[in-house]
Amino acid sequence: MKNLVTIFFVLSFGLNALAQQTRDDINIPDILGYKTLKCDFHSHTVFSDGNVWPDLRVREAFRDGLDAIAITDHIEYRPHKDDLTKNHNRSVEIAKTKENQYDVIVIKGSEITRKMPPGHLNALFIKDSNPIDTADFMTAIKIAKEQGAFIQWNHPFWLKPVFPTKDGKPTWFPIHQELFDKHLLDGIEIVNEREYYPDVYKWCIENNITITGNSDIHDPVSYFFEQDKGDHRPVTLVFSKEKSEEGIKEALFAHRTAVFHHDSLFGKEEYLREIFNNSVKLIKDKAIANKGADLYFQVKNNSDVPMTFILEKDDDDFKFPARLLLPAQKTIVFSVRPKSKDIAGQKELKLNYFVKNFLTGPEKCLKVEFNVTTDLK
C-alpha cells in the first residue's frame, strides 16, 4: 500500500511538472497612476468559426503576457453548430474555468455579424449572449447595451472588395452615424489582425471614440503570428485603475487606451509621452572630449517597444545623428560632433527628435527632447 501511495505521489508530481508554462511578459510601463493592462478584445473558438477549444485561448493569453481577453464568437456564423451546443454562452463558460489558474481575465463577448453596413460589432462585458441572437440588428445592439455592453466596431475596412468605395478608403455609413448619435458605438478597431487603418484612427480622434487593436484570432495564435521571430498579436493597452473586469470596462468607456501593433504604439499624446518617459532614460548625459572630437552619450530603453528617432534639427554648433534606432530592452551609444574645432567649454544641448513609431495621430509622431551637456577642452 505504501508503495502504491508513493507511486501515486510520484505520478502526481510528474503531472504537475508537465503543467508548467512560461509567460512572455509585455514590458510597457504603468502610467499616470494607472496600471497598463495588455488586452485582446477579439477572439474566436470552435463555437463559431475558430479552430481551437475555448480554454486554449486563456493559456495562449497567459503565454503572450496578456492580462485580459474577450472571447467573441459570432452570433450569426457558426459552421460547427450541428456538432456543438446552440448555447451562445458556452465558449466563455469553458474559457472562464481557466481564469483563476492563469490570472487572465476572461471578458464575455459576442460578435454581432452582419453584412457591411453595419458590418461586424463586438458586444463586450455582456451577461447573456443568447438574447442577442435576434433578426433585427438594432434590437440586438440595444439588448447588448441594456446588459451594459461596450460596443466595438470591428475591422471597419473589411469587405472592401464587396463594398468598394470611391476613394478605396474605409467608409462611415449612415448606420454608423446613427449608432454613434444614439450612444450605441463606443469603440472601433484601428488595428485588426495585421491591418492598421489610418483613416479609422482619424475618425476616432475627431469623435473621441475609444481605439482598440485586436487579433481577431481564429487559429492557434502561434500558427498565425510568428512568435519565434519576434512577431506578436496586436494588443490594446488599457490604462486601468486596477486589474479587474470592472476596471477595464471603466477605462474603455473613459477612452483610456492605446494600441501596440507590430513595432508601433498608437494613442493620445498624454499616454504615449508617459510611456516614453517611463521607458527611456539617458544613462550618460555628460561627455568630455578634446576640441573638435566627437562626444558620446548613452540612452537606455527599458520597454519592449523598439524606438526609431528622427532628428528635428541640428544645433548651430553641433551635428546630431539624423536617425537613432533604440531597440527594445537595449542601451545605445550615440555621438554629437562639434561643427568646428574652435568650439570650446561647457554647453547644454537640447536634442529634439520625433519618435517615428509613436503615433499620436495618423500623421503625427511624438516629439521628445534629450538634454545633454558637452565639455570640450
Asked if 57 touches Zn ion (CB under 5 A), the answer is: no
Q: Which is nearer to Zn ion, 217 or 376 (CB)?
A: 217
Q: Which is nearer to Zn ion, 116 or 326 (CB)?
A: 116
Residue 1 one-letter amino acid: M
Stretch that binds Zn ion, among 115-123, 171-179, 288-296, 347-355 (CB under 5 A): 115-123
Q: Which is nearer to Zn ion, 64 or 216 (CB)?
A: 216
Cβ atoms of 185 and 153 within 8 Å: the answer is: yes
DSSP assignment of 161-223, as one string? TTS--TTSS----HHHHHHHHTT---EEEEEETTEE-HHHHHHHHHHTPEEEEE--B-S-HHH
Stretch that binds Zn ion, among 113-121, 123-131, 170-178, 308-316 (CB under 5 A): 113-121
Stretch that binds Zn ion, among 20-28, 103-111, 206-214, 315-323 (CB under 5 A): 103-111
Asked if 256 touches Zn ion (CB under 5 A), the answer is: no
Compute the least distance from the CB of residue 158 to Zn ion, in Å.
Answer: 6
Stretch that binds Zn ion, among 109-117, 195-203, 304-312, 345-353 (CB under 5 A): 109-117
| Alpha carbon distance 62, 13 (integer Å) | 22
Binding to Zn ion, residues 151-170 (CB under 5 A): 154
Cβ atoms of 184 and 343 within 8 Å: the answer is: no
Q: Which is nearer to Zn ion, 50 or 338 (CB)?
A: 50
Q: Which is nearer to Zn ion, 89 or 215 (CB)?
A: 215
List the grid coordinates of 347. Answer: 554647453
Compute the least distance from the CB of residue 108 to Zn ion, in Å.
Answer: 15
Count the site residues for Zn ion by CB under 5 A.
4
Q: Which is nearer to Zn ion, 70 or 324 (CB)?
A: 70
Residue 64 one-letter amino acid: D
Q: Which of 38, 120, 233, 256 binds Zn ion (CB under 5 A)?
A: 120
Phi, psi (rounded to 5 degrees) for 349: -115, 145
Asked if 186 touches Zn ion (CB under 5 A), the answer is: no
Residue labelled with grid coordinates 485588426: 192
Residue labelled with grid coordinates 503570428: 225
| Alpha carbon distance 252, 236 (integer Å) | 10
Asked if 216 touches Zn ion (CB under 5 A), the answer is: yes
Q: Which residue is nearest to Zn ion (CB)?
A: 120
Compute the least distance from the CB of residue 152 to Zn ion, in Å.
Answer: 11
Q: Which residues of 330-362 are buried (b: 16+ CB within 10 A; e: fewer)?
A: eeeebebebeeeeeeeebebebebbbbbbbbeb
Q: Which is nearer to Zn ion, 120 or 232 (CB)?
A: 120
DSSP state of 234: -
Compute the least distance from the CB of residue 78 to Zn ion, in Å.
Answer: 13
Q: How far is CA 110 from CA 82, 149, 307, in A?
A: 19, 10, 36
| Alpha carbon distance 113, 177 (integer Å) | 18
Q: Strands 68-71 and 105-113, how do they pair?
A: parallel
By C-alpha distance, which of 362, 338, 366, 339 is closest to 353? 366
Stretch that binds Zn ion, among 4-12, 129-137, 149-157, 279-287 (CB under 5 A): 149-157
Asked if 40 touches Zn ion (CB under 5 A), the answer is: no
Asked if 108 touches Zn ion (CB under 5 A), the answer is: no
Residues 6+ apart with CB under 8 A from 182: none
Question: How long, in residues, is the chain?
Answer: 377
Stretch that binds Zn ion, among 84-92, 94-102, 119-127, 306-314 (CB under 5 A): 119-127
Stretch that binds Zn ion, among 86-94, 208-216, 225-233, 333-341 (CB under 5 A): 208-216
Compute the least distance from the CB of residue 189 to Zn ion, in Å.
Answer: 9
Compute the least distance from the CB of residue 110 to Zn ion, in Å.
Answer: 10
Asked if 73 touches Zn ion (CB under 5 A), the answer is: no
Q: Which residues bind Zn ion (CB under 5 A)?
A: 111, 120, 154, 216
